[in-house]
Structure formats: C-alpha cells, structure tokens
Amino acid sequence: MGEQLKLLSDESEGLALSGTLTATGWQLPTNLTRELWIECGQLLDKIESGSAWWRGDWWAYGEREWGEGEELANLADIDYGAMQVYGSVSRAYPFLRRLKNLTFGHHQSAMNAGDDLELRLEWLNRAEANGWSVMTLRREINKQRIGKATPLTGKHRVVYADPPWRYSDKMELPTEKGGESYGPAEAHYPAMSIEELCAMNVKSVVDDDAVLFLWVTVPLVRDSFQVIDAWGFEYKTHFVWDKIKHNMGHYSSVRHELLMVCTRGQCTPDENTLFDSVQSIERTEHSEKPNQFRKIIDALYTRGNKIELFARGDSIEGWSRWGNEYQREAAE
C-alpha cells in the first residue's frame, strides 16, 4: 500500500512528497509542476540525511520499552550491529539539541569527545562554524585527545589492556551527499589506529621482567602483534572468552574474544595454578570484560606493580589505572 510521507521543515510547516511511495519505487503524479518536482527533490535530500536519526530514534524507543536489543533485532529481522550504532547516537543527543546543519556522522564523531553532552555540542558548533567534514571533526578531536593525554608513568610488572581498536570494516550509514562510513565500535568509544596504539610509551613504564594481558578481537589478531612488538613484549599464549551469546561476523557468528598473554624478560606466573584456557561467561555491555579475568591475573601474579590501560569503572585495589577516555581524565 502506498503511503504519503511527511517531513517537518525548520519552520514546522508540513511538507509532503507527492505521489505514491512503495518499497519498490515512487509513482509520481502526472500533473507535477517543475517547482513541486524541485521541492520534492530537496525534500528527498533531507530525508536521506534524517533517515539515520529516524532509525536510531525508532530503535532507542524499542529498547527502552521492550528491553533486550538482540532479541528485538531478531524479531524484526534487522541488523543488530547497525541498530546499535543508530540507537547509541540517537540516545546521546536529545531531540532538540541536534544540529540541523550537520549530519548524523558529525554527531557520531563528536561522541569521541566523551560523555559530556555540552562538550560534544561545543565540538559540533565548531564544526558547523568552520565547515568541517566528518573526518576533519574526528581528526581535530583526536588531536586534542592525544595532546591532553595523561602521561603513563611509573614502572609496572603486570599490564592489563583493553585497547579501543579501530576496525577496517565499515558500516555504511546514510549521511549527506558524499557521506562517509563508520566502524561499529566507534559508536561506543573513541577508537585508535594501530599506529596510535604502537606509539604509546608502554615500553618505558614496564619492568625489564613483565607480563602483558592484551584483549584482542578475532579480526585484529594479526594486527595485534604489531602492538605487542611495539610495547616490547613477546606472545606466549592466550585465553578464550566464550561470550555464550553470539555476535556479528562476516564468516561466522563470532561469540569469543582473545586475551593474549605476552612477556618480556623472565616473567612466568608466581603461582602454578593452571586455569582453563576457555572461560564461558555471558557477555553484558558492549566491550565490557568479565571480572573473572582480572581475578585470574591476580591469582597468577601476586607480586609487583599492576596497571590497567584503557580502564573503565571504579578503581580496583592493587591496580593503577589509565582511562580509555583519557582526554577527560586529564582534566579531572
């Protein structure tokens, strides 16, 4: 059945697409004037820019009303990963605080500035005033983030890290003409490239004899060795986190993640306890790791200073921490 779509203009006047729209096309009326034809084309451009917001608001409503997102996605037969991106951006910006002259992609990139809405809006206003593209906005935020990074200091025997990996696969999201695509992870945290991770001065803040526990997702196993080498460690073995719930994937439905165990010098465990290399623990929030793995590390390594890189949540007794949203931690 054909439906007439309505879109509110900036002056809140109802504008309508003439004719009949279906899932397979648009049957324009025979008496369409040139002026109305132009108006419809302009309205289509607005619809393309707004459709990501509509998806996000629709998805956020469903999660708010009926809970578990993955089950909803299965019921609606839609891509759960894509909807996570749309919904997370929509939830991050109240309806009346979104900038009409900037794209959904701009708003998504501004989330890299942190959780503070006013700070994100400050970046968006700057992007609007300077005519920045999505990529320019992202680069400017990253430059300030790196420039304000809290330096890594001290010496540590145990390093536990959950890096904000940047993925090469991209999810096409509707933006403006010539729009760009974005990795799904970047809807949840400010991602870092392999080059940025390798450039961190981890090597200077670890003991000559040290151990690294590094979280790596399956698509990035090969790339992770560049980071391991740059930080001065050598791969030894790994744990497998079986998340029980399935996740996105290209070749299989991925339900596991790897915790690489790497050493420098001589740093075998202080205790001889052998934990099962596969830990089956149901996943919860995006990228949140189970506490069981920290308990395993504490049980194996009882001596020396410990640091968690890209830490989240509350401080843990016996551990130093360096936050994942480090541009904000530097200001606190």
Q: How far is CA 290 from CA 135, 255, 278, 282, in A?
A: 34, 14, 13, 9
Q: How far is CA 323 from CA 151, 304, 312, 313, 315, in A?
A: 11, 21, 6, 9, 10
CATH of the domain at 159: 3.40.50.150
Q: 196 or 181, which is more confident?
A: 196
Tell me the average pLDDT across 210-235. Answer: 96
In this structure, is residue 1 part of a structural domain? no
Q: 293 and 180 share a domain?
A: yes
> Are the C-beta atoms of residues 320 and 154 closer than 8 Å to each other?
yes
Q: 221 and 315 share a domain?
A: yes
**Cβ atoms within 10 A of the Cβ of 220, count?**
19
Stretch among 81-85, 96-100, 235-239, 316-320 having the lowest mean pLDDT: 81-85
Number of domains in the chain: 2
In this structure, is residue 99 part of a structural domain? yes
Domain final residue pick, 109, 126, 143 = 143
Domain final residue pick, 114, 143, 172 = 143
Q: 135 and 278 share a domain?
A: no
Cβ neighbourhood burial of 35 (10 Å; 0-12, 13-18, 19+): exposed
Q: 121 and 174 share a domain?
A: no
Domain final residue pick, 143, 160, 186 = 143
In this structure, is residue 26 part of a structural domain? yes
Q: 44 and 113 share a domain?
A: yes
- Would you say residue 173 has pLDDT above 60? no
Which residues span the domain enclosing 19? 6-143
Q: 131 and 198 share a domain?
A: no
What residues are paired with 6 via a beta bridge? Answer: 16
pLDDT digits (tens, 9 = 90+) for 74-127: 888 888 878 888 898 999 999 999 998 898 989 998 988 888 999 999 999 999
Q: 181 and 285 share a domain?
A: yes
**pLDDT of amino acid 231:** 97
> Are the C-beta atoms of residues 223 and 235 closer than 8 Å to each other?
no
